[in-house]
Chain A
Amino acid sequence: MELRTTGPAIGVIDYAIIGIYFVFVIGVGYRLKRQMVSSEDFFLSGHRIPSWITGLAFLSANLGAIEVMGMAANAAQYGIMTAHFYWLGAIPAMVFLALFMMPFYYGSKVRSVPEYLKMRFNEPTRALNAISFAVMTVLMSGINLYAMALVFKLLLNWSMDASIFAAAAVVLAYTIMGGLTSSIYNEVLQFFLIIFGLLPITIIGLVQAGGWDGLKARFTDPALGHLWMNAGAAANPMGVDWIALCSGLGFVLSFGYWCTDFLVIQRALAAESLAAAQRTPLIAAFPKIAFPALTVLPGLLALVLIPGLGSNTTDLSYNMALPLLLPMMYPSGMLGVGLTAMLASFMSGMAGNVTAFNTVWTYDIYQSYLARDKSDKHYLWMGRAATAGGIVISIATAYLVMGFPSIMDYMQLIFSFFNAPLFATFLLGMFWRRATPWGAFWGLVAGIACAVGHYLMTGHEPFVYTSVMAGNFWRATYAWLACFIVTIAVSLFTKPKPESELEGLVWGRPREVAAIAESWIKRPPVLAAIVVAMTIVLNLLFW
């Protein structure tokens, strides 16, 4: 196969397109600034955003470096089994969030995930979660900066320091002016940029390879083209058997991320009604089903098109699978659009983390423990200060990530520490009335301790795994189990909260919500059924 695009390296048109994008991003922030009157406006967009916008923002808040570079890198390394992150992991979790958990989140009128834990359990549980979440978001947000700087260094030879500081300055400008709304609007903008910037790669690549069958025929290892066929044992490219896949990825990691991570939940809380909040993850699920076409497929194409991909040099590491395809396939002009799309995804991934961080910091740490009973204006000011602080820490963590060999390993490691045990806390908290405040607290402590212990023991018998990914999946499973068991055990010996305090927080004690008559297609269960059916079909198609 021969691919010829005789385009020059980056030219004036590409810089012009990147420049226009910057102008728009900052312009949107500036335009929204005068609407940010109260802290509620700044942190929760005043609960005024329609569900199609929150849905797209829900999707693109996590469409940062992780998804765009990480999934392509994973696909180049592990084959189409990477699509399990979508069709086994994300989609079922998003449906579960919409149908079963959103009524408690939105219905209890909490402003953040830690605040829910306070209402359902107690202050210490909330404090533990707020602090670990704040640490996690800034650790994550640095990944985006680092990945962006890496791409622009290798493709355009920009200085890494300059890219890190320039991108951080732009994100600072628009989040500090427009808060969550600004972040959400730019996420929606970025969503379309990713589609229009990356879709031609998939189309051109597939035509060139002779469709999916043609591409499959070119894999050196035919197992790279199957989702489940080789998952009976761990002898597949991912080194993970179906048990670890379903428990680690399908259940703990995905549900932990999509159902408890405030970064994504916050987008749904900005919706205008409970039904709109429930629709948010469902509307996001439809494009999410198709996203492997933009992330996994290019990774598979890169594997076939870029000789030597996956060797140990930075220039040809799996992480570079997608960025390397851009100059191969795009002439100057489209190259600018592709680069802008990547830039946008890194910036919005970072902005998502920063806006979640400033909310949790201001409401759950600052207002709760450091400065109670200040004016709303003061908290709005603190939100802006936390935004700036969060960005400065992100810059620091960007340099920290540089010390890790793989972006994806770094991320899954952090998720297995914080999100995996938290999901057990939520599951028990929302669906088991007997779960007690101290049960939740010690369960969380046990889960995090178990993840850290497992991380330190990985590589020593019996914790030896065929791939880093397999280690991550098992670590998540163990951390979840530890939290689940300890929460139940401690709960049985401690005093539960009185029933009257659990109203609207636990399954079986919902707050009365007036049903709004809506057309059948807008009803959450109907949307959920369609999403699930489509996902099952895809699992069978790529069996």
Chain B
Amino acid sequence: MLDVRLPIGSLFLIIGIMLVMWGISHPVMTVLSSAAETYRFNLNLVWGTVILLFGALMLFLYWLENKARSKETVNEDKHDSKA
């Protein structure tokens, strides 16, 4: 069975990279002014990094499990293709 972390990890990694690159090449500042303080940040860059890290984490978990169970997976794949 396909490990769901593979598609999740790759999708978020790709979206994260796209956002970060877009944030750098087309910087747009979000300005938040509450009563106390004013914040300025590049939302695409900041949140793109968060998304990128999440994607990388999922892929890392996928890789860890795959490595630990590499033998089992090979057998399962064989079984799959037979079926």
Q: How far is the CB of A43 from chain B (nearest CB, A)?
A: 16
The interface residues of chain A lying within 8 Å CB-to-CB of B15 are 17, 20, 337
Q: How many residues of B contact A (CB 8 A)?
A: 34
Contact of A192 among B2, B12, B32 (CB under 8 A): B12
Contact of A20 among B8, B11, B43 (CB under 8 A): B11
Which among A5, A21, A32, A49 has the highest number of chain B CB atoms within 10 Å?
Answer: A5
Q: How many A-B residue pairs have CB under 8 A?
A: 102
Per-position 1/0 for B44-72, Cβ under 8 A of A: 10011011001000000000000000000
- Interface residue? A496 (CB, 8 A): no
The interface residues of chain B lying within 8 Å CB-to-CB of A332 are 22, 26, 28
The interface residues of chain A lying within 8 Å CB-to-CB of B4 are 53, 185, 188-189
- Interface residue? A402 (CB, 8 A): no
Q: How far is the CB of B68 from chain A (nearest CB, A)?
A: 15
Query: Chain B residue with minimal CB distance to A20?
Result: B14
Contact present for B19 and A207 (CB under 8 Å): no
Per-position 1/0 for A39-59, Cβ under 8 A of B: 000000000110001000000
Whole-angstrom distance between the alpha carbons of A53 and B1 in the complex?
13
Contact present for B11 and A24 (CB under 8 Å): yes
Per-position 1/0 for A9-34, Cβ under 8 A of B: 00001001100110010011001101
- Interface residue? A4 (CB, 8 A): yes
Q: How far is the CB of B56 from chain A (nearest CB, A)?
A: 13
| A13-B22, A27-B7, A189-B7 given; A35·B51 CB < 8 A | no
Contact present for B7 and A333 (CB under 8 Å): no
Contact present for B7 and A331 (CB under 8 Å): no
Contact present for B32 and A337 (CB under 8 Å): no
Q: How far is the CB of A341 from chain B (nearest CB, A)?
A: 11
Contact present for B33 and A28 (CB under 8 Å): no
Contact of B22 among A24, A330, A333 (CB under 8 A): A333
Contact present for B80 and A200 (CB under 8 Å): no
- Interface residue? A499 (CB, 8 A): no
Q: How far is the CB of B82 from chain A (nearest CB, A)?
A: 10
Whole-angstrom distance between the alpha carbons of A342 and B47 in the complex?
17
Per-position 1/0 for B7-26, Cβ under 8 A of A: 11011101100110011001
The interface residues of chain A lying within 8 Å CB-to-CB of B39 are 207
- Interface residue? A209 (CB, 8 A): yes
Contact present for B11 and A21 (CB under 8 Å): yes
Query: Chain A residue with minimal CB distance to B31?
Result: A4
Q: How large is the interface on A (under 10, 10 to 19, 20 to 34, 35 or more residues)?
A: 35 or more
Contact present for B18 and A6 (CB under 8 Å): no
Whole-angstrom distance between the alpha carbons of A185 and B35 in the complex?
43
The interface residues of chain A lying within 8 Å CB-to-CB of B75 are none
The interface residues of chain B lying within 8 Å CB-to-CB of A35 are 1-2, 80, 83
The interface residues of chain A lying within 8 Å CB-to-CB of B7 are 24, 27-28, 185, 189
The interface residues of chain A lying within 8 Å CB-to-CB of B54 are 192, 196
Whole-angstrom distance between the alpha carbons of A181 and B3 in the complex?
11
- Interface residue? A541 (CB, 8 A): no
Contact present for B32 and A333 (CB under 8 Å): no
The interface residues of chain A lying within 8 Å CB-to-CB of B8 are 188-189, 192
- Interface residue? A3 (CB, 8 A): yes
The interface residues of chain A lying within 8 Å CB-to-CB of B51 are 196, 337
Contact present for B30 and A204 (CB under 8 Å): yes
The interface residues of chain A lying within 8 Å CB-to-CB of B14 are 20
Whole-angstrom distance between the alpha carbons of A384 and B18 in the complex?
36
The interface residues of chain B lying within 8 Å CB-to-CB of A333 are 18-19, 22-23, 26, 28, 43-44, 48
Contact present for A331 and B12 (CB under 8 Å): no
Whole-angstrom distance between the alpha carbons of A2 and B38 in the complex?
11
Q: How far is the CB of B5 from chain A (nearest CB, A)?
A: 9
Query: Chain B residue with minimal CB distance to A52?
Result: B4
The interface residues of chain B lying within 8 Å CB-to-CB of A6 are 28-29
The interface residues of chain A lying within 8 Å CB-to-CB of B2 are 28, 31-32, 35, 185
- Interface residue? A164 (CB, 8 A): no
Contact present for A210 and B34 (CB under 8 Å): yes
Given A20-B15, A189-B8, 5 extra CB contacts under 8 A:
A3-B32, A17-B18, A21-B11, A196-B47, A208-B32
* Top 4 closest pairs, chain A to chain B, by CB: A331-B28, A333-B44, A333-B22, A4-B31
